């Protein structure tokens, strides 16, 4: 009954089976294999465009390598102050880029606001040798607050970014969860809305360790290949990463897995919101629920065996609950029931 | 019938099974799981000492991160000129260390000579602010030439390195193959001979993607953890790397796999060496055979479906043949027979 | 009549004379000369303690090299959001440190508040591998707002910094101006208040190009020497930088120069503040005046030949006026008179 | 009587006078001044072409910044193994470039041989993701052995470099000395022979601290400006560097100074070569003399007050003698006489 994070999940059965299947015989190393060719073709098909696709094994690598290809060492990367790249990767983008600067902007519900961005650019000192130079805007889809950028919101940010000469990067660690919410095509949610580079996450949603960097603008593809190798992210037995990604997008598996997780999160949110004294912090649009409960209810849930993270933002009693592709509906119901019970008791005793 | 490299192999069945077994239920991410604890304990047991062990997924990452912990940005890393870290990682050590310099030294049969090293240190300018400062010596075990450093050879190099204030790093991408040849304990082959840090390879010898960095000197362990995360090499679902490494060293699997590969290489070498006109370039002590054949024989072998790399060093007709944990003995015999046949024909026509 | 910045000034006569005097005969290069020995001794005498002193030619180099010695690549450097190191050095500290992260904090009147700092540390994730690690606190003395940290304020920040395991760095590009205001000894204003490293500026206050990095904690001195050379900041004819610094602190020249500049700034401030419609933005404690004037007055001043920078912070009409060691008192009076005249006219026409 | 290095010299009187003259009044900082405009124009005039010129204060900065603009972090910089950039800048190019790799090649008399270079490129693995990518060739003019590349030699290296897709950089720390030897125009010695970027040294030949980076290919100029600032090499009082460079090339001062130094070196060489038992190691084409003397003669010269460096290359008794713009002819004669006397005595006693 672990609601800590979707990265506590294991591997979806179809993906594990694909790994086993990929183990037939020998294959040439470093991506010179058939599985990698198929993964690349799948990506082009999925996004309905020519593109360069590179597989790596962590989201941190995907983000930092993509950003390093888009920003010079004296560049600035604009993002939400709470973005994973800014807060949770131990300076990974700074490292891979050779010291680019992340500029964290505030924004409601985990989302970057195009007006805030536009305002920031006004003071960015474009062309001023004393200032780091605007190079990339990075947004997280779904956001760190579990909200999802609408296509028009992406397009509005893309317009501001491109106007400033910046590329638009999307950290799609939970891209599948966002796409299920949007209900549009992968192309519509990305390059058609102005996204230049996408970190296409699979690990949180059922892969063992597999993320793809999608460069819709192929001009940086050669550079990416060298940066990936140089940073130790080119696997010799690459077929086993490619096979995960191939299986992930085959027959809509990725969307089915995300749909399940989103549904569990929605049920959690609906159930909890109906409890007096419980307050949702953000709209639940993907697979994450940020919610404030009375402290005794949290203690009760913990003692009942539920695991989740106390959140560092929001009022006391705020927690994050994440549903995964494998979350069991009965655990969701049990969580809500337990929360309701402890909240009721808590309200009685006060 | 692929003799290109041991990284064209797949995953050993026991390791694939361990991956499937690790997929039971949820586990805390980023190494806070039981499999990682077990892997760490196994490493301490295997090397009979306290140590810090970190799992990553590529040998390039293992090497470069270990070196970055041992060398300052203004440091020099001494190695054989043909070392993988110097030639085949696209500048990975330079990148992870923030620009340290690799000093490539010549040495017979892929091995660093302590006298050459000692001579190099004399001109290294220790303390001279204009010169990069000697920080690490790195040796490859088994070497890039398929030869193996004897324990006394390691100790001699360690003595010179330590005398110069350098740490000794061992790139053990094929450590198992070397150990099988040495017939001593892992401890005797490493820290007891003066090794301070080891890249303990498993990928080439049966893992999907798993390498361990072993720091016998724990003082750099905290730094390693931050560097691993920062460079994108800390996996969220770490249990799946740890599980590979655990299975790899359980019940001597790693040594059994390496023993098989070494034996295949020895048979290849013995069979080929007996053919007139064929010449071995180095002693075959691990799982690699460097051998010169007449060109028509190479063409014949290729047309018979054998794959191998033409080697950039040595006289024309030099190739590298690598045996893997899964190499079939009948393929070895077939290779030798085919080579013999084509050599005979070649000698007739000349 | 240039009030743009103190870096538009030339060289104080005594310092120019010292350069000429240093030109006698040959001297050994790279700091192995007598002038450099004398400069180092002067610094120890001035600060009444043993210390390591290194001369460089720019404040950006002084700051970034000092910070690089204090922060690991995965470190965080806490400073005021508007600090020069954060805003005006094109990512210099990030570059020299190998990608450390600057964390900009807000603070009234250009000064870091120990409570804000303390609060920031609570959320810094010390020991958490996903987060950059608190390593340095950097304050600017005098601040970017022309204010000066009192000794107790420095001590309070030092206490919070040290408690968090951070070193305290002081960017003293205008240290002389601050010290004149404080009226205490250099030692009292620095290491006795908890400062670990100081960028001791001379360029803005009369040198041609000379800054000293003072490490009160000598443990990083060797590292500094290598980093200085490596980054191209070790001059071959070092005697000419050392000679500037020697002359700068001889017979109290530095304080006399700064006293003059401060006095001019104070007169500017007093004169302007007395004009109706004019508003000072910060207390004037060093040689900088931040002031808001009616737009017509600014236009009038500009057309009268006065030069100054429109400031990006504060309400419309905010400008920065900087007095230098060579500012002529009659220019100050003329500025105030001209401003008064245009302000009066402006108020009439509205 | 210091023959250690030309960097033990002081400042040529005309350049010191230019510094004093530049001290008139205020000037806008960071190169936005008239002296800098004039310096840039002078460079265009001198080299008879459009170009981008940037002033810095050390040769190490000039070299490393130029190379960082020409090589990506995964690039390789080919140079003579004994080149200053490879041996004497504490890894400066590696640092500024973000970890590019220097590939040192052997070559007679300090010069790179186009055939050796061509051979190296054959094994460079262009396009191979595992290998650092050939990006720059750097030659030193005059070389570290005091020899000078003829124009055809430069053109031959440029052809090989460009064929491999590399830019050609020239480290011209002693460019004036080389040019005097060549007797051609600056344009003929550089871009007309295929040089893409030049470190134009002035410090060793009479400036206080001034070097110019000349980019004949302007496409990297914007990048250079940001890298210069970021690395702390943009001076606020830039006029004082620009004024040095302006004076340096005005009325042929630089060539006159270099001509004197070269002449002194030639006299030293001729005088010494005529002494039995003394052997020149390289042709003396610029201002450096590499020569082997009997040990007693060296001891005698030292005790007579002459200073010079014992050289780490060549047979025992090899020293380097460097003449500067200010070397006194009577010191040269005295050196030769003293050497002759001690050599004669030495030969008698043996």
Which of the other chains make 3 or more beta carbon contacts under 8 angstroms with chain D?
A: A, B, C
Residue D170 phi, psi (nearest 5): -120, 120
In angstroms, the separation between the Cα of residue D33 and the nearest Cα of chain B is 34
User: Chain-centre distance of CA A141, in angstroms?
Assistant: 6
B-D Cβ pairs (cutoff 8 Å, strict): 56
Give the up-direction half-sphere exposure of residue B269: CA atoms within 13 A in the CB hemisphere: 22
Q: Which residues pair with D139 in a beta bridge?
A: D170
Q: For residues C27 and C33, what is the distance between their CA atoms, to the nearest angstrom?
A: 6
Name the pLDDT band for A350 (thresholds 50, 70, 90): low
User: Which residues from chain A sit within 8 angstroms of residue B235, using beta carbons?
Assistant: 57-58, 209
Per-residue confidence at C72, pLDDT binned at 50, 70, 90? very high
pLDDT of residue A313: 87
- Pair of tokens at residue C149: 């940290």
Which residues lie across from C211 on neighbouring strands? C56, C201
The reply to whether residue A101 touches residue C102, judged by beta carbons under 8 angstroms, is yes
Q: What are B328's two structure tokens?
A: 């079939």
User: Out of A51-60, A230-239, B216-225, C138-147, which region has the weakest mean confidence (pLDDT)?
Assistant: B216-225
Q: Which residues of chain B have pLDDT under 50?
A: none
**For residue A151, is pLDDT > 70?**
yes
Check whether the bond before B142 is cis (ω within 30° of 0).
yes
Tokens 């002038």, residue located:
C35
- Beta-carbon neighbour count of residue A128 at 10 Å? 13
- Distances from the Cα of D337 to the Cα of A144, B313, D289, D331, angstroms: 81, 53, 16, 10
Paired with D279 in beta bridges are: D292
Say if residue D349 is preceded by a cis peptide, omega within 30 of 0. Answer: no
* Phi and psi at residue C322, to the nearest 5°: -120, 130
Would you tell me the crossing angle of helices A59-70 and A221-230 to the nearest 10 degrees?
130
pLDDT at position C158 is: 98
ipTM at complex level: 0.97
Cβ separation D28–C4 shorter than 8 A: yes
CB contact under 8 A, C87 and A312: no
Q: Which residues of C touch D19 (CB under 8 A)?
A: 16, 19, 208
The SS3 call for residue C92 is helix
Q: Is the pLDDT score of A319 beyond 90?
A: yes
Confidence band, pLDDT 50/70/90 cuts, at residue C347: confident
Neighboring chain D residues of A227 at a CB cutoff of 8 Å: 73-74
Identify the DSSP state of D252.
G
- Gyration radius from chain B CA atoms: 21
How far from each other are the two terminal CA atoms of chain C, in whole angstroms? 29
What does the alpha-carbon distance between residue B297 and residue B300 come to, in Å, rounded to a whole number? 5
Q: Measured between alpha carbons, how far is residue C40 from residues C37, D21, D172 in Å?
A: 5, 30, 32
How is A120-179 classified by DSSP, letter by letter?
HHHTS-TT-TTSPEEEEEEEESS-TTS----HHHHHHHHHHHHHTT-EEEEEETTHHHHH
C125-148 burial: b if 16+ Cβ within 10 Å, else e: beeebbbbbbbbbbbbbbbbbbbb
State the pLDDT at residue A95: 98
Q: C129–B74: do the CB atoms touch at under 8 Å?
A: no
Where are any strands of DSSP class E within chain A? 52-56, 75-80, 101-105, 133-140, 167-172, 197-201, 211-215, 279-280, 288-292, 309-310, 318-322
Q: Strand pairing of B133-140 and B167-172?
A: parallel
* Percent helix, strand and coil across chain A, each to the nearest 5: 50, 15, 35
Task: Find the closest chain C residue to D29 by CA distance.
Answer: C8
The closest alpha carbon to C168, from C205, C128, C141, belongs to C141
CA distance A120 to B118: 56
- In this predicted structure, the answer to whether residue A42 has a pLDDT above a threshold of 90 is yes
Q: B with C: how many residue pairs have Cβ under 8 Å apart?
A: 39
3-state helix, strand, coil in chain D (%, to 5): 45, 15, 35
| Confidence class for position A274, pLDDT limits 50, 70, 90 | very high
**Residue with the two structure tokens 């990367």:** A77
Given a contact as 3+ CB pairs under 8 Å, which chains touch C? A, B, D
DSSP letter at D220? G
Euclidean distance between CA atoms A46 and A186, whole angstroms: 7
**Contact flag D237-C23 (C-beta cutoff 8 Å):** no
Considering CB atoms only, which of A26, A61, A204 is closest to B2? A26
pTM of the shown model: 0.97
The Cα B223–Cα B128 span in angstroms is 27
Task: Calculate helix-pair angle for A13-21, B13-21, nearest 10 degrees.
Answer: 180
CB contacts of D94 in chain B (<8 Å) are 94, 99-101
Provide the shortest C-alpha distance from residue B208 to chain A (in Å). Answer: 7
Contact D280, D272 (CB under 8 A): yes
Which candidate from C94, C130, C131 shows the least CB-CB separation from A99? Answer: C94
- The two tokens of residue A150 are 């609408």
Separation CA D100–CA B92 (nearest Å):
10
* pLDDT (0 to 100) of residue B173: 98
Interchain pair C229, B133: CB under 8 A: no
Backbone angles phi, psi at A71, to 5 degrees: -120, 135
Which tokens go with B143?
């070497």
D-chain CB neighbours of C19 within 8 Å are 16, 19, 208
Neighbouring C-beta atoms of residue A316, cutoff 10 Å? 9
Q: A100 with A93: CB under 8 angstroms?
A: yes
Neighbouring chains of B at 3+ CB pairs under 8 Å are A, C, D
Q: Residue B129 and residue D60: Cα distance in Å, rounded?
A: 13
Kindly report, residue by residue over A78-93, the tens digit of the pLDDT. Answer: 999 999 999 999 999 9
DSSP C256-316: HHHHHHHHHHHHHHHHHHTSTT-EESS---SSEEEEE--HHHHHHHHHTT-B-EEPSSSST
Give me the DSSP letters along D106-130. --GGG---HHHHHHHHHTS-TT-TT
CB pair distance less than 8 Å for C131 and A88: yes
Contact check, Cβ <8 Å, C74/B129: no
A253, burial (CB in 10 Å: exposed 0-12, middle 13-18, buried 19+): buried
Is residue C2 classed as helix, strand or coil in its secondary structure? strand
List per-residue pLDDT tens for chain D, 350 residues long.
899 999 999 999 999 999 999 999 999 999 999 999 999 999 999 999 999 999 999 999 999 999 999 999 999 999 999 999 999 999 999 999 999 999 999 999 999 999 999 999 999 999 999 999 999 999 999 999 999 999 999 999 999 999 999 999 999 999 999 999 999 999 999 999 999 999 999 999 999 999 999 999 999 898 999 999 999 999 999 999 999 999 999 999 999 999 999 999 999 999 999 999 999 999 999 999 999 999 999 999 999 999 999 998 899 999 999 999 999 999 999 999 999 999 998 888 76
Question: Across residues C188-206, what is the average pLDDT?
Answer: 98
C-beta atoms of C91 and A102 within 8 A? no
Q: How far is CA A266 from the centre of its chain?
A: 18
Give the model's pLDDT for residue D280. Answer: 97
Shortest Cα–Cα distance, A193 to chain D (Å): 30
Beta strands at A197-201 and A167-172: parallel, antiparallel or unpaired: parallel
Please tell me the distance in Å from B228's CA to the nearest CA on chain C. 9
- The C-alpha atoms of residue A18 and residue A97 are separated, in whole angstroms, by 34
DSSP per residue, A231-256: TT---TTTHHHHHHHHHHHGGGHHHH
Rama region for A305: left / alpha / beta (φ>0; ψ in -120 to 50; rest) = left
What's the rounded Cα separation, in Å, for the pair B60 and A228? 11
Query: B interface toward C at CB cutoff 8 Å?
Result: 30, 72-74, 98-99, 129-130, 133, 223, 225-230, 234
The backbone torsions φ and ψ at residue A136, rounded to the nearest 5 degrees and listed phi first, read -140, 145
Nearest to A91 among C88, C89, C132 (CB): C132
Candidates B130, B223, B229; nearest CB to C130: B229
């Amino acid at each position: 009954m672990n609601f800590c994070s979707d990265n506590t999940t294991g591997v979806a059965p179809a993906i594990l089976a694909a790994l086993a299947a990929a183990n037939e015989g020998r294959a040439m190393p470093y991506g010179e294999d058939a599985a990698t060719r198929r993964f690349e073709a799948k990506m082009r098909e999925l996004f309905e465009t020519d593109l360069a696709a590179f597989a790596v094994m962590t989201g941190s690598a995907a983000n930092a390598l993509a950003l390093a290809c888009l920003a010079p060492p004296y560049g600035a990367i604009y993002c939400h102050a709470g973005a994973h790249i800014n807060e949770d990767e131990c300076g990974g983008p700074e490292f891979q880029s050779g010291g680019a600067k992340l500029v964290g902007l505030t924004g409601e519900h985990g989302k970057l606001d195009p007006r805030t961005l536009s305002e920031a650019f006004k003071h960015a000192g474009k062309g001023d040798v004393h200032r780091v130079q605007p190079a990339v805007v990075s947004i997280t889809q779904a956001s760190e607050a579990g909200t999802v950028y609408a296509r028009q919101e992406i397009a509005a940010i893309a317009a501001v970014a491109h106007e400033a000469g910046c590329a638009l990067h999307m950290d799609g660690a939970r891209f599948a969860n966002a796409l299920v919410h949007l209900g549009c095509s992968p192309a519509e949610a990305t390059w058609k809305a102005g996204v230049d580079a996408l970190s296409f996450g699979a690990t949180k949603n059922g892969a063992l360790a597999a993320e793809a960097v999608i460069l819709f603008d192929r001009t940086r593809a050669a550079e990416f290949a060298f940066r990936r190798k140089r940073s130790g992210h080119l696997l010799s037995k690459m077929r086993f990463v490619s096979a995960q990604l191939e299986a992930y997008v085959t027959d809509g598996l990725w969307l089915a897995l995300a749909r399940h997780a989103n549904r569990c999160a929605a049920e959690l949110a609906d159930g909890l919101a109906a409890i007096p004294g419980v307050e949702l912090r953000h709209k639940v649009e993907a697979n994450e629920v940020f919610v404030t409960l009375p402290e005794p209810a949290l203690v009760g849930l913990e003692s009942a065996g539920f695991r989740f993270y106390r959140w560092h933002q929001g009022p006391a009693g705020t927690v994050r609950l994440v549903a995964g592709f494998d979350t069991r509906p009965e655990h969701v119901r049990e969580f809500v029931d337990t929360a309701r019970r402890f909240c009721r008791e808590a309200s009685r005793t006060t």
